[in-house]
Every structure is written in C-alpha cells, then in structure tokens.
Amino acid sequence: MLSEKTQKTILELQKVYPEARSALIPALHIAQAEVGYLPLETQAEVAALFGLTVNEVNSVVTFYDMFFEKPVGKHLIHFCKNASCMLRGSDGLLKQLCSKLQIKPGETTADGQFTVIPSECLGACDRAPMMIVDDKVVGPVKEEDLDSILAAAKKGPGHPSPLGHIEVNHA
Ligand code: FES
C-alpha cells in the first residue's frame, strides 16, 4: 500500500497540470520509487488516485521500459540491441555480459545487484555498441571493459527513480 505521503504528493502533483492525468508518468515514478517496482496492486492504487482504470495505467506502465512490473536489481543495464549497435557487435557483447552475470537478457542476478534490459535505440548511436548503466551512458563498449564497467557500477548508488525525491509545494 502506498504511504499517505506518497498519495498526498501524487494528488498535489495533479494540481500542477491543467489535466490531472498529465501527472500520471511522474506519479508512477514516485510510486515506483517507494515500492521499488509497480506490481498490479500499486498500479490499481495509482489508477484510483487518478480516476482511471487499471488497464489505462497498465498501458502506460508497459509502454515505457523505465517502469517495472517485477522487482529489478539495484543496478540497471539498458543494453542497446538496435541496428547501429548490432552492426558493431552488440549481440556478442550482450552474450558476454549475461554470461559474466550468469543470467539471460531481461533477468536479474541472484544477488539482486544487476538487471540487464535489452532495449531499442538508446539515442547514442555514435557510441555504439553502448549501454546505459544506471544513469551513465557507456560506450563504445569493448568486451575487455565489461569487468571494470560492472565494478564501477557496483560502487554507485544504483538507479533511483528520477522523480522519487519529488516534493510538491502547491500554493
Ligand atoms: S542503435 Fe544503439 S544507441 Fe542507437
């Protein structure tokens, strides 16, 4: 169940926009920051706050790969599998990365540290093959760099939801 503070923040956030439903994406970020992911129960709570159906909220959650319906690791690796990166060897790199982490693409490591998410173009084709590790764009990635990239990520704080800290002061 979402905390009273989170519910209040979401309701206040709705007042910032001419149409309350325009606040849905930031509201989902806030909910995800509290729960860690967006299970259907949380989506239903958010839907109720907006007067929307769960299906309407779910269609937004499943459209964006920044929202998660299942728990994810502390560190997120969005790994580009699109054309420019594929032409520069991303398929082999993804295999290597997943082999090092002992997971399949889309899975989370047993220790809960990393989730690897194969993604469409991440908008940095000039750095192909590339990935986004938590909030950092990394590339061009070479196979021999993978260990140091993972080690550097482990030292970081992880992937806080971009709006998880939001405070809404609506006069
Ligand atoms: S194709 Fe990989 S960043 Fe564009």
Distance 136 CA to ligand 1 centre (A): 15
Q: What is the pTM of this model?
A: 0.81
Rounded Cα gap, residues 129 and 137, in angstroms? 11
Write out the H or E segment, with its range, that includes residue 84. helix 83-87
Residues with CB under 6 A from ligand 1: 80, 82-85, 121-125, 128, 130
AA identity, residue 100: K
The pick from 81, 84, 133, 137 for probing ligand 1's pocket by mutation, whose C-beta has the most ligand atoms within 8 angstroms, reads 84
Distance 80 CA to ligand 1 centre (A): 6
pLDDT digit of tens for each residue in the chain (171 aa)? 999 999 999 999 999 999 999 999 999 999 998 898 999 999 999 999 999 999 999 999 999 988 999 999 999 999 999 999 999 999 999 999 999 999 999 999 999 999 999 999 999 999 999 999 998 999 999 999 999 999 999 999 888 665 545 555 544
